[in-house]
A and B are shown apart, each in its own frame.
Chain A
Amino acid sequence: MFLRILDRLEEILIAGLMAAATLVIFISVVHRFGIGYRVLYPYLHDIHISWAQELAIYMLIWMAKFGAAYGVRTGIHVGVDVLINHLKPASRKLTILFGLFCGALFTAIVGTMGAKFVIGLYGTDQTTPDLEIPSWFVYLCIPLGSYLMCFRFLQVAWVFWKTDQLPHHDPGHVEGLPEDGHDKTLVGDHLQ
């Protein structure tokens, strides 16, 4: 139950941040265009969106950190599987588990370093240049995202240990496209 909520929150967060960052940049472009027109100038020139770029970058960094954790769960992170596919099943299993534990180890170390860094910043009143939000809050994505990713690695390792199943991402599968590819309308009216 708790896991289901966590999964959903993760998905909503990264999809939402993706959409929001795109819109922020798009609006800032429209704003810059609009201000060039005399009719719109009086309405637009009081609106300052110089912070748009910084906001979009921060949103996308947060998206990247949590998305990386989501990617562990869905198996999207690419690795070199040329060698391990030639191993015997038993040693293949051990090698893959080793890889997953290395992932957990790395993200745990990074998360801890990030946490120390955030704690160090917390006492200061350092803020970001344009938005002037506290820096510690912005950097919070490193410990949170990394620990979540560490948890996902352990989760995947546990499932793999029990069931031999790894999450697998298929880049060729796109929902909504004709799976058996039967699309008669394509060759055009002039052929029918």
Chain B
Amino acid sequence: MNAALIFGLLFGLMLTGMPISISLGLTVLAFLFTMTTVPITSVGLKLFTGLDNFGIMAIPFFILAGTFLTRGGVARRMIHFTTSLVSHWPGGLGLAGVASCAMFAAIAGSSVATVVAIGSILMPAMVEQGFPKRFGAGVISTSGALGILVPPSIILVLYGVSTNSSIGALFMAGIMPGVILAVMLAVVTWFIAWRNDYPRLPRASWSERFKAFREAIWGLMLVVIVLGGIYGGIFTPTEAAATAAVYAFFITVFVYKELKLTDVPKVLLNAASLSAMLLYIITNAVLFSFLMTSEQIPQAMAAWIVDRHLSLWMFLLVVNVILLMAGNVMDPSSILLIMAPILFPLATRIGVDPIHLGVLMAVNMEVGLCHPPVGLNLYVGSGIAKMGISEITIAVLPWLGAMLVFLAMVTYLPQMSLWLPHALGMH
């Protein structure tokens, strides 16, 4: 009963278009003022203590690193490198797009940043080389979604923080699925290009490839710093993120010289406002999950599921359907912050590995990013490609299909995500 009231109020407020963070907060306040005996003053404290966690601070640092990388010519050198490797194959520039997105995803934690960084350079180049606009827009908008699966990933940090799971283990768990998804997207790209006989580019010589690699190495080093550093126990994910931000600043300003020192305040301000927006949702999501717990809603749902003898297979199906539906109305971070604290106790009760659940949620969020009405990747992609939103929706369909197949694989083959963290002894 209370659960219905809480969710009814939450959705009602959300549908008015007010910020999701505000709807979460108001729901909690309204409920606490009228229905419970929980001291209301504890809410004020929670607004501070909800953020008083070193793990959460990885988010602003990763966003800052990503903002530097998006603006600093790192993406261009990566594209240059991948183009020199694969552009002589059918759909070469498209394949280079998938590979560049995967690489950029491995140094930045957000999908939108990946689409912007790779797409704004590669999409026009593809049109120039004679690829149809739809093809380029389709490849990049979907491949950009790798950003939240391949570590570092802001979504996985959010999951780790809100369920108290190891962020390091989550990052490692994202690697294998990320590589497999990249390969699947590349196969679709290759197939479409081969069927339609899209242009190929001349093969690059090995010396050109080596030169392109040497140029790109500064950006690629970030992968080593972040993943190697976390896995090697040299630093925590948050420290890795801060180091990555300083490193990204250093290479874009002093090595690649694509950013002037006078541009840095702008970058800082952009990163700060994006982080503050996320942290504000986090604060209110913490309040919301505090309300959920004090009303024992996840426990009640878990008991209900156990009573029904819902099998693991069915449970995962239901989780996917709920998450995909949520992806139709909300942005990934908000879905994750609202759903993770609810799904986590259910999943552990029914025997789903928490790390597996994290990867599963990230893949669901990826799908949500690639279809309307709220798929941010599509909006960003349509802005870059100068295409209408309905046109780009059709353009992404082949790759979106591959993603749904991949979602089923991730859901029912937990070993895909768990193998690497297990092998490394992290989980």
Which A residues are in CB contact (< 8 Å) with B389?
none
Please encode chain A, from 110 to 150, with 1 for each CB lying within 8 Å of some chain B CB and 0 for all others. 10011011000000000000000000001101100000000
Docked Cα-Cα span, A63 to B280, in Å, equals: 11
Which A residues are in CB contact (< 8 Å) with B16?
83-84, 95-96, 98-99, 102
Which A residues are in CB contact (< 8 Å) with B51?
57, 60-61, 64
Are B18 and A142 closer than 8 Å at their CB atoms?
A: no
Among candidates A14, A21, A61, A180, residue contacting B273 with C-beta atoms closer than 8 Å: A14
Which B residues are in CB contact (< 8 Å) with A183?
76, 121, 124-125
- Name the CB-closest residue of A to B53: A57
Are A25 and B121 closer than 8 Å at their CB atoms?
A: no
Are B57 and A60 closer than 8 Å at their CB atoms?
A: yes
User: A90 interface residue, CB < 8 Å from B?
Assistant: no
For the complex formed, measure the closest distance between the CB of B411 and the CB atoms of chain A, giving whole angstroms: 26
For the complex formed, measure the closest distance between the CB of B9 and the CB atoms of chain A, giving whole angstroms: 12
User: A6 interface residue, CB < 8 Å from B?
Assistant: no
User: B15 interface residue, CB < 8 Å from A?
Assistant: yes
User: B424 interface residue, CB < 8 Å from A?
Assistant: no
Are B279 and A103 closer than 8 Å at their CB atoms?
A: no
Which B residues are in CB contact (< 8 Å) with A23?
246
Of the stretches B160-168, B178-186, B372-380, the one at the interface is B372-380
Q: What would 7 A/B residue contacts be, using CB atoms closer than 8 Å? A: A60-B57, A60-B60, A63-B272, A68-B280, A98-B18, A185-B76, A186-B121
Which A residues are in CB contact (< 8 Å) with B60?
18, 21, 60, 63-64
Are B259 and A176 closer than 8 Å at their CB atoms?
A: yes
Are B277 and A57 closer than 8 Å at their CB atoms?
A: no
Are A178 and B383 closer than 8 Å at their CB atoms?
A: no
- Name the CB-closest residue of A to B383: A172
Which of chain A's residues 35-53 have a Cβ closer than 8 Å to chain B? Answer: 53
Are A71 and B280 closer than 8 Å at their CB atoms?
A: yes
A sample of 10 more A-B contacts (CB under 8 A), given A29-B243, A80-B20, A106-B25, is: A18-B64, A67-B277, A78-B277, A81-B17, A83-B15, A96-B16, A102-B18, A103-B19, A106-B26, A186-B76
Interface of A with B (CB < 8 Å)? 11, 14-19, 21-23, 25-26, 28-29, 53, 56-57, 60-61, 63-68, 70-71, 74, 76-84, 95-96, 98-100, 102-103, 105-106, 109-110, 113-114, 116-117, 138-139, 141-142, 170-178, 180-183, 185-191
Are A178 and B268 closer than 8 Å at their CB atoms?
A: no
Mostly, the A contact residues are: helix
For the complex formed, measure the closest distance between the CB of A93 and the CB atoms of chain B, giving whole angstroms: 11
Are A77 and B280 closer than 8 Å at their CB atoms?
A: yes
Which of chain B's residues 253-294 have a Cβ closer than 8 Å to chain A? Answer: 258-259, 263, 265-266, 268-269, 271-277, 279-281, 283
Interface range for B: 35 or more
Contacts A178-B121, A186-B76; A80 near B273 (Cβ below 8 A): no
Of the stretches B317-325, B329-337, B339-347, B353-361, the one at the interface is B329-337
Are B48 and A139 closer than 8 Å at their CB atoms?
A: yes
- Name the CB-closest residue of A to B207: A190
Which B residues are in CB contact (< 8 Å) with A61?
48, 51-52, 279
Docked Cα-Cα span, A84 to B205, in Å, equals: 55
Of the stretches B78-86, B145-153, B304-312, B394-402, the one at the interface is B78-86
Please encode chain B, from 100 to 139, with 1 for each CB lying within 8 Å of some chain A CB and 0 for all others. 0000000000001001110011111100010000000000
User: B391 interface residue, CB < 8 Å from A?
Assistant: no
Which A residues are in CB contact (< 8 Å) with B45?
117
Among candidates B15, B124, B331, residue contacting A180 with C-beta atoms closer than 8 Å: B124
Are B243 and A26 closer than 8 Å at their CB atoms?
A: yes
Which of chain B's residues 44-79 have a Cβ closer than 8 Å to chain A? Answer: 44-45, 47-48, 51-54, 57, 60-61, 64, 70-71, 76, 79
